Structure 1
């Protein structure tokens, strides 16, 4: 019997195959990601001669949140994937809602990251006061990899070429460093998506640069709240004009969110009517303003911990 074919990170042609594999395949739990706040199980999934690694988050393993209804974070993860696909940017790995070994839950393709999107290398350098090492971390990547990093801590109050400032951060012994993110078009698209879905938890660890150069965002369970809950590390473009690409995507998205459209119908099965109306309103505000949103001041602007 031939060995099952293992599917790579999705391209346009592979997305449908992956969705079918994730939705219909046999799930086998191989481990647990213990750092996660909710139950997150690493699985393999096999169907029709195809296999892939995936993440399974059973609803039974969700911790209650004071500001979100119990037992529906998985639905919000699927809703984020659907909106991402509607933009054409493919920023969220293929994600489905299905039954599994521990009941209904979210199943999402596992993305093998080319390196963490967090601050490990730069944070260590800034904390030790070694400015030269911090500069080297910027050049090598905030994650200590050979490629360009997505986030960094730098001395001084200037972000430097190719970086966008976020906020000053305490790094110990009364010292501060400037938290910055890369001026990267992939991150900018993700900032627009987060504004649309009202992502309340865009941490550095939720940024996954893939070996093929694509960037994915994960962990969207605390999204789609009707109130403004946007909390992110991607504030570098706040108040700046949206790109022409983003403006076009938002216009198309507004049409797809109209009553009776397939996207609106599917979202209506995953989030509440009030939350769906809020998605439409956010898209309308972005189109009317033509700029990236600024922090509202009504909600902490940056998630904690940031990575």
Structure 2
């Protein structure tokens, strides 16, 4: 391991927004491992990547460091992260940092531009009085906070989060924790950690339930119509190396179901709706 460089919120956000430059750097740059993120459930390495005088921080998750899961095929999480990025990029909303699958010091793995949360950004989640939510916030669930007291866990009523909620519904994201939401220095909100996505059966588990039952926005409907066509074409071909044929079909069906109902989905009665731990 080498000396650990300090992340700059502005630099990471700027490169994440410059998608062509970020993808070229991630694909062709030299990876240097600086340390391991110890709170990750799978091996997640804190790295830098350098190419032609340009250097950025990134996270590298080698396939060999993935822990087996009972409900996902072994060795597929890195590919699912890349597939999630490809689908999210196709929405035009860019809610996931640029991500590639490439070889690295510990073999093939997912490499993603590091986005450092902006310490000056307003919070996206809060605990409020159970009688809430307060204006500008949407309820998630009533939570126990100790000594017999409860509070209402809420998320911001924000168009950026609402877009991400739609993307998660298409991805069938089984792990949208609060810690997987990053407010970047340029005002964007990014989602990270998409290894447990694209299951063929319903596994949506998220904190972004504030819009459940509500009609989809017009821009979301337009995006889903376009996405459905792309899944039958170039986007589907890009996802195919990372997913099974059944999972690809299920993704198309989720898009079609969202368009059929015209509403944000409700929590499943057969699967936990809130990730644990939630934050």
Same fold by TM-score, threshold 0.5 exceeded? Answer: yes
1:213: Cα distance to partner? 0.4
| Partner residue in 2 for 1:98 | 102
Q: Which runs of 5+ in 1 are unaligned?
A: 1-5, 116-145
Q: Report the CA distance shift for 1:19/1:206 in structure 2 as closer, same or farther (over 3 A).
A: same
* Residues 203-233 of structure 1: CA deviation (Å, up to 9, x unaligned): 0000000011000000000000000000000
1:8: Cα distance to partner? 4.1
* Residues 27-75 of structure 1: CA deviation (Å, up to 9, x unaligned): 0001111011111101110112211100000011111100000011000
Q: Which runs of 5+ in 2 are unaligned?
A: 1-9
1:270: Cα distance to partner? 0.8
Residue 299 of structure 1 pairs with residue 279 of structure 2: no
| Partner residue in 2 for 1:32 | 36
Give 2:240's match in structure 1, choosing from 268, 276, 280: 268
* Residues 85-127 of structure 1: CA deviation (Å, up to 9, x unaligned): 0000010000000000000000000001114xxxxxxxxxxxx
Which SS does the other structure have where 2:75 is aligned? Answer: coil
Q: Report the CA distance shift for 1:7/1:293 in structure 2 as closer, same or farther (over 3 A).
A: same
1:155: Cα distance to partner? 1.3
Residue 52 of structure 1 pairs with residue 56 of structure 2: yes
| Partner residue in 2 for 1:112 | 116
After the TM superposition, which parts of structure 1 deviate over 3 Å for at least 4 consecutive aligned residues?
10-13
The number of residues matched between the two structures is: 270
Residue 189 of structure 1 pairs with residue 193 of structure 2: no
1:7: Cα distance to partner? 5.9
Distance 1:232 1:112 in 2: 22
Which SS does the other structure have where 1:299 is aligned? Answer: coil
Pairwise CA RMSD: 1.4
Distance 1:9 1:102 in 2: 27
Residue 229 of structure 1 pairs with residue 233 of structure 2: no
TM-score (structure 2 length as normaliser): 0.94
* Residues 158-203 of structure 1: CA deviation (Å, up to 9, x unaligned): 2110000011001111111101000000000000000000000000
Q: Report the CA distance shift for 1:235/1:13 in structure 2 as closer, same or farther (over 3 A).
A: closer
Give 2:185's match in structure 1, choosing from 185, 201, 211: 211
Give 2:143's match in structure 1, choosing from 163, 169, 175: 169
Distance 1:172 1:81 in 2: 38
Which SS does the other structure have where 2:196 is aligned? Answer: coil
Asked if 2 retains the 8 angstrom alpha-carbon contact of 1:7 and 1:51, the reply is no
Q: Report the CA distance shift for 1:86/1:240 in structure 2 as closer, same or farther (over 3 A).
A: same
Asked if 1 retains the 8 angstrom alpha-carbon contact of 2:16 and 2:98, the reply is no
Question: Larger Rg: 1 or 2?
Answer: 1
| Partner residue in 2 for 1:18 | 22
Asked if 1 retains the 8 angstrom alpha-carbon contact of 2:16 and 2:97, the reply is no
Which SS does the other structure have where 2:13 is aligned? Answer: coil
Distance 1:228 1:187 in 2: 21
Distance 1:150 1:169 in 2: 17
- Higher RCO (C-alpha 8 Å, min separation 6): 2
Distance 1:81 1:237 in 2: 23
Residue 155 of structure 1 pairs with residue 129 of structure 2: yes
Residue 73 of structure 1 pairs with residue 47 of structure 2: no
